[in-house]
Structure formats: structure tokens, C-alpha cells
């Protein structure tokens, strides 16, 4: 399936179907995702210090997806980079370290450490919808996005991806990230949501607010990628509700060079990566395309 290998800046993805951040936490599981066919894997978002996350319940099913508020639970960047990153790299796919800093210095410090530990790239989480001062508040501020990306880009040699969420400033923040040297934009993250238990008559999640993922957000995410493609020159990685090859192809036709899969891993298992990649390959054969690049953004030219 060489025709579906993709290049995202300096990174070579084995195929355009990557594991999204926040789904698998341990290095051994990241390795398994790569072995099962993920074209690249993204780690959980790492913070400066260990975070226990929110109390349970932290996840609830919705009619067309999941709502979660894990709270960026992670062992802290030093622990993860020391013990989990080496295991993840054994899978043979690119390993991209996701970073959730509370400010410019934290993003820069963890990025430098990730590069030294052997990460193939970093993904700046500027889009978490349920943790204050870590994510969406940052990503909705284009000048701050530009400052963070510029500082990280100037501190590491490995690729820097900016993950942005659904805000009124999405396009402006993406343009700011590109101008600051980002190698790719990842769009989008989960969307802020609330689930109410009608019998208990209160919110289900301990944090009240969580992030909605899965099929419910897919058309919104595709629209975001479609809009960003018209404004950006750097690659876009589509994320949101990818369950099968048709979902992935929507993103690619809208302008994404690759996609990330999250909720579908929990619902379908690790074989989902290979299934989607095979489906994309067969689609190209059916319509007579010789390379995936031929259809990136094709919906804009039809």
C-alpha cells in the first residue's frame, strides 16, 4: 500500500491513519497500535507535573459518541518520556508526543525534553475543552498561539504540530500557528458538552463539562478542515468521528493529508487502523488514483 504512505512535513507516516492523543496511555499500548496498523501514534497529553485527573465518572456514552472529562491525567512528562516513550517507539511508526502546557515555558520545556528522549515530533494541545488554562482557552487566542508555536519551533528541530479546537478563532489561530512555523495543524479536538442524568437530576460527569467525540462531531470537523484548507499551505490532519474509510476519505477530500482516530479505537478495537487504511487503498484503486496526494482537497476542485 505504498500509494497511501504520506509525508507530513519531515515525518513519513506508514499510512494516513494515526492514533489520536488521549486514547491509549501506556507505551505498550501505543506500540500495539503501531503494530496493528496505525500510520503514526500520538501519546496522551503530557504536563509538567503528574496529574491524577478528575474523579469518576469521567466518561459517558452519548447517542452518537462519547463525552469524556479525564482531566489530562498523566504521570508527568519526565516519567512518561523515560518509561513509556521507548516502548512506543518499538512499534515502528512515528511517535508524536502531545503536550498540554500551562504557558509558553511549559510547552517549550516539555518539547525540548521530548526531542531529547527520541520523539519523532510534538503535538501542542491547544484545544482541550474541559481543563482550565490548558487547551481551548489558549487555542482561541491567535497571538498566544503564535507565541507558543514560535517559541517551541525555535527550541526543537523535530516537527511541531498545533492541535486546535472548535472556536470562533479557529482559522485565525491556525494561520497564526502556520506563520510561527508549525509543520501541520490538527483539527479538531472534542467539543465542550454536558450530559444530564434525568433520574439523578444532575450532570453525569464529576467535572460537569466534558468533550464530545465520535460520529456526532464528524461533519463539524470536516467543515473545519474544509475551511482551513482554503487558508493554509501546511498539511492538515483531520480528527473527529473517523470510524471507517468513508469518514477518513471525507477529511482527505476536504483537505486533510492524514486523519487521527480516537473514539473508534475504544468501540472497535485496534484493528480499526488497518481496516481504514485498506479501505482508502481500495478506494484509490477503484477510481484509478495512483497516489493519495491526488485526492487531498479534491472536493475543492470539483
Catalytic sites, residue numbers: 128
Q: Which of 121, 101, 224 is nearest to 174 (CA)?
A: 224
Q: Which of 256, 232, 227, 230 is nearest to 240 (CA)?
A: 256
Cβ atoms of residues 162 and 126 within 8 Å: yes
Beta strands in the chain (DSSP E): 6-8, 11-13, 17-19, 40-46, 59-62, 65-68, 94-99, 121-126, 160-164, 184-187, 191-194, 196-197, 202-203, 209-213, 236-239, 258-261
Angle at which helices 218-229 and 170-179 cross, to 10°? 50
| First CA to last CA distance, the chain | 26
Please report, to the nearest 10 degrees, the dihedral formed by the alpha carbons of residues 198, 199, 202, 208 taken in order. Answer: -70
Amino acid at each position: 500500500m505504498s500509494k497511501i504512505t504520506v509525508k507530513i512535513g519531515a515525518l513519513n507516516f506508514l499510512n494516513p491513519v494515526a492514533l489520536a492523543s488521549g486514547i491509549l496511555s501506556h507505551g505498550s499500548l501505543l506500540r500495539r497500535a503501531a503494530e496493528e496498523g496505525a500510520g503514526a501514534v500520538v501519546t496522551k497529553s503530557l504536563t509538567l507535573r503528574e496529574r491524577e485527573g478528575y474523579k469518576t465518572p469521567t466518561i459517558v456514552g452519548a447517542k452518537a459518541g462519547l463525552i469524556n472529562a479525564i482531566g489530562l491525567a498523566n504521570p508527568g512528562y519526565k516519567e512518561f518520556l523515560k518509561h513509556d516513550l521507548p516502548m512506543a517507539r518499538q512499534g515502528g511508526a512515528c511517535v508524536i508526543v502531545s503536550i498540554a502546557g500551562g504557558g509558553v515555558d511549559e510547552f517549550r520545556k516539555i518539547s525540548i525534553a521530548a526531542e531529547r528522549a527520541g520523539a519523532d515530533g510534538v503535538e501542542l494541545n491547544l484545544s482541550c475543552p474541559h481543563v482550565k488554562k490548558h487547551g481551548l482557552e489558549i487555542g482561541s487566542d491567535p497571538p498566544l498561539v503564535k507565541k507558543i508555536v514560535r517559541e517551541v519551533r525555535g527550541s526543537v528541530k523535530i516537527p511541531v504540530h498545533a492541535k486546535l479546537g472548535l472556536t470562533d478563532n479557529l482559522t485565525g489561530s491556525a494561520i497564526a500557528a502556520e506563520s510561527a512555523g508549525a509543520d501541520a495543524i490538527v483539527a479538531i479536538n472534542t467539543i465542550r458538552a454536558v450530559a444530564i442524568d434525568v433520574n439523578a437530576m444532575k450532570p453525569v460527569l464529576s467535572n460537569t463539562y466534558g468533550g464530545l467525540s465520535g460520529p456526532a462531531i464528524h461533519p463539524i470537523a470536516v467543515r473545519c478542515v474544509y475551511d482551513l484548507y482554503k487558508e493554509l499551505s501546511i498539511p492538515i490532519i483531520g480528527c473527529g468521528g473517523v470510524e471507517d474509510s468513508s469518514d477518513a476519505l471525507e477529511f482527505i477530500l476536504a483537505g486533510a493529508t492524514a486523519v487521527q482516530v480516537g473514539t473508534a479505537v475504544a468501540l472497535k478495537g485496534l484493528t480499526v487502523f488497518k481496516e481504514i487504511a485498506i479501505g482508502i487503498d481500495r478506494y484509490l484503486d477503484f477510481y484509478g488514483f495512483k497516489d493519495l496526494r491526488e485526492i487531498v482537497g479534491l472536493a475543492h476542485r470539483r
